[in-house]
Amino acid sequence: MAILDKLNKLPIWVASTECAVILFLAIAAVAIPGTFMEDRSIYASPLFLVLLGIFGLNLLLCTIKRRRTISRPVLILHTGVLLTLAGCIATSFGYVATVNIYEGTSVSKFYRWDKKADVDLGFDLLVKKINSEYYPIPVKVGVLKGLQKENLFILKTGESFEFNGYRIAAESLDPVTEQLTLTVYEQNRRIGSYNTSGLSDLPADFPYTFALVAFQNPRLKRLWVDLDINQNSGNTAGGTSEVNGPFQWGGLYFYNTQIGKDSEGTPYAGIQIVRDPGRPVVFAGFAVMGLGAVLSFKRRFSRKA
């Protein structure tokens, strides 16, 4: 009889403030160590998810129990918290996968960290091109006529200089190959371009050539990769990816986490693939909580007025 009586009181206790405090402390005790660990699997552990679920149940029961006395702003806040908790639980059914891909090649298997194994995600991922953008680079450009040095100009990429009726613009510098591309204008009319590697589409009678004498070490502004996704032997989608600007497709987020070169100098891109089904629910929860907070402040200040 005593056991039955305790079971009958269990729903009342689950909806109590005491239960909420205990659950909050338990969630903190489990979550805090995870902030000091590289392994985030603790947040997808059964213990953590059960605690979140019970905490959500506690809030739901508490809200239902006090629905007649609770204010609308607080009710909205509770709804936002419940959405956020539901999103956190849904996130546990996602995954993170990583892979390094050489430029111009594709892969079909990715390392899933939750399974600690290479798996096939059902598509091929191609890194079409690795792109880089630098801040303007100070350069020294020599102007030659045959073998004779005519002049030396100091400027930055993106700037131009005037010489004997021509305007020469330093368009871009590839710091890896140390090749500078210049565009030549005559009376504001483009007549051709010249690359310090020797490639040129300038007129045959153009009297000058150019040499890159020196340049300062460039500062990287942006790195990104062009991606293609192939599924069922056909091109499915394509886009660009970078650290804070992932490419999105089919509920997956493709982040460019690194750019590097192997021992032979072949460039590759590190790609992180994230499936997070709870992401939109969490964001919706934050939005609802924000609305509840605004209404709560408005209600409190209206009372003071």
Per-residue pLDDT of 156-171, as tens digits, reads: 999 999 999 999 999 9
Residue 74 and residue 292 in contact, taking contact as beta carbons nearer than 8 Å: yes
Distance CA(62)–CA(83), nearest Å, equals 15
Tokens for 196, please give them.
Answer: 């310090």
Query: pTM for this one?
Result: 0.68
Centre a 10 Å sphere on the Cβ of residue 224 and count the other Cβ atoms it contains.
Answer: 19
Pairing mode of beta strands 252-261, 267-275 = antiparallel
Tell me: pLDDT of 109 over 80: yes
- Cα angle 285, 288, 292 (rounded to 5 degrees) comes to 135
**Average pLDDT of span 56-74:** 82
pLDDT of residue 270: 93
Question: How does residue 74 score in pLDDT terms, banded at 50, 70 and 90?
Answer: confident
pLDDT interval class at 305 (50, 70, 90) = low
